[in-house]
Chain A
């Protein structure tokens, strides 16, 4: 009797374990693109347009890119991934990207 109830409890527990949905909680990055200060390109446009789809690392880890190459990336995301990046914001986004890389000691043309 005792053994049977132990078995039943064990069985119930294993069913519960098996039925529990798999669940994880992903880390969230609330990092924003940096404000370089007065007189420097504002990060507002890139913060407002780009962080809706991906965290900052995707941009900050890129190798040295010319303004034209960054423009190609914007066009690629808008055309193929339907990213809702306002064309009117392109210039401000590109200004910030070029300034960001120009200020990086860890990025150079190979």
Chain B
């Protein structure tokens, strides 16, 4: 194509900039592909996010973000929606309805909630299907790399304190949470998740209005979201507007059928298996990621190359992290960072001196319950709960 004048040139330049072909891309290194995703600035309040899907938004955090600090900034925090959600919300008019098996049904404003004792916790929010794109054999669904997770300081109130005002009646089994998102089709299942009463009232489960000291972004659930420390994000209901107390098991699709894992000790089954007992996904498993170097990096031969990253204990704290530069044959202890929030990310650092040539960097966390990351992975038909040691192949030159 011959560009004949300045106006045409500018139009062409603009089209090129908007085209994924010319946009900055990230290679998620998913086995068998497709692996390339554009980085996008198109979502308000978010920048340089990996675009997985425009509608409904699926935005992934690039791994390099996790190298900069244990808290994930709000404008880099991943986004995941099943159904459409309101893009304009009047916080002053928002009400949280608490009804069902309670003596005193309530309608609470944000001001009502903020009048209760405030509570803060730092906790990792991780999608059940984080890293699904790395499973082999591959599994259909959102093709996440490792960045469908983030760690934030959550501010709000304990659910325990809110429910004390509603007076749950004897015989209650579970609390069911739902938000302002609504299905595309009338008879499709509204998104709702439930927690057993004892868990919901354990003093850690909370309703947050802020993350990292700022109001929740709309894309992360403004004005209120549930925070369930140690559990997968499917329970962290966004744009929370209703808590229904149930006196019988929750039979809604999102609890009774979706987000189920094999009822085996490690949630794994043989690839391709379909006929096995299942249970709802719940507690997270320990994970560690090298963030100082990307897969495929070329590092100059030197004594004591700095290797670091982030670890999480899952449903408890991090006890220790070991690192390897030879694909797991030899391990050395890493130094843990001072931030020590039980449910948050923990920084680890080490210095290693691999010889010239290919090197496979690995990090392996042991949590405070003594659970060690396995070297080989599980498989299940939904690609949930990946937790094995992740290799980072590099070359020492």
Min C-beta distance of B41 to chain A, whole Å: 10
Of the residues B35, B140, B258, contact of A69 by C-beta under 8 Å: B140
Please judge, given known A-B contacts A21-B91, A54-B53, A55-B53, whether A61 and B185 are in contact too, CB under 8 Å. Answer: no
Are A64 and B32 in contact, with the CB atoms below 8 A?
yes
Across the interface, which residues of A come within 8 angstroms of B9, CB to CB? none
Interface-side segment among A2-10, A39-47, A81-89: A81-89
Across the interface, which residues of A come within 8 angstroms of B32, CB to CB? 63-64, 107-110
B17-61 contacts to A (CB < 8 Å): 30-37, 40, 42-45, 51-58
B270 at interface, CB cutoff 8 A = no
B184 at interface, CB cutoff 8 A = yes
Min C-beta distance of A68 to chain B, whole Å: 12
A58 at interface, CB cutoff 8 A = yes
| A106 to B34 Cα, complex, angstroms | 5
Across the interface, which residues of A come within 8 angstroms of B43, CB to CB? 24, 26-27
Are A73 and B140 in contact, with the CB atoms below 8 A?
yes
Interface string of B103-140 (1 = CB under 8 A from A): 00000000000000000000000000000010011111
Please judge, given known A-B contacts A21-B90, A52-B184, A82-B187, whether A26 and B140 are in contact too, CB under 8 Å. Answer: no
A interface bracket (residues with beta carbon within 8 Å of B): 35 or more
B interface secondary structure, majority: loop
Are B218 and A106 in contact, with the CB atoms below 8 A?
no
Total residues of chain B contacting the partner, CB 8 A: 50
B223 at interface, CB cutoff 8 A = yes
A1 at interface, CB cutoff 8 A = no
Across the interface, which residues of B come within 8 angstroms of A27, CB to CB? 40, 42-43, 54
Please judge, given known A-B contacts A28-B54, A63-B133, A63-B143, whether A83 and B185 are in contact too, CB under 8 Å. Answer: yes
Are B88 and A82 in contact, with the CB atoms below 8 A?
no
| A106 to B32 Cα, complex, angstroms | 8
Are A81 and B34 in contact, with the CB atoms below 8 A?
no
Are B33 and A108 in contact, with the CB atoms below 8 A?
yes
Interface string of B170-195 (1 = CB under 8 A from A): 00000000000001111111000000
| A82 to B182 Cα, complex, angstroms | 13
B257 at interface, CB cutoff 8 A = yes
A29 at interface, CB cutoff 8 A = yes
Across the interface, which residues of B come within 8 angstroms of A110, CB to CB? 31-32, 136-138
Are B143 and A106 in contact, with the CB atoms below 8 A?
no
Min C-beta distance of B240 to chain A, whole Å: 15
| A28 to B186 Cα, complex, angstroms | 22
Please judge, given known A-B contacts A25-B44, A110-B31, whether A58 and B53 are in contact too, CB under 8 Å. Answer: yes
Are B185 and A65 in contact, with the CB atoms below 8 A?
no
A38 at interface, CB cutoff 8 A = no
B243 at interface, CB cutoff 8 A = no
Across the interface, which residues of A come within 8 angstroms of B258, CB to CB? 80
Are A84 and B185 in contact, with the CB atoms below 8 A?
yes
Other contacts beyond A63-B34, A82-B188, A107-B34: 15, CB < 8 A = A18-B92, A21-B90, A22-B88, A24-B44, A24-B87, A24-B219, A25-B44, A57-B53, A62-B143, A63-B33, A63-B138, A63-B140, A80-B253, A106-B33, A110-B136
Q: Which A residues are within 8 Å of any B CB, using their own CB? A: 18-19, 21-29, 52-55, 57-58, 60-65, 69, 72-73, 80-84, 104, 106-110
Q: Which B residues are within 8 Å of any A CB, using their own CB? A: 30-37, 40, 42-45, 51-58, 87-92, 133, 136-140, 142-143, 183-189, 215, 218-219, 222-223, 253, 257-258
10 tightest Cβ-Cβ pairs between the two chains A and B: A110-B32, A63-B138, A29-B54, A27-B42, A24-B44, A21-B90, A82-B188, A55-B54, A23-B88, A110-B31
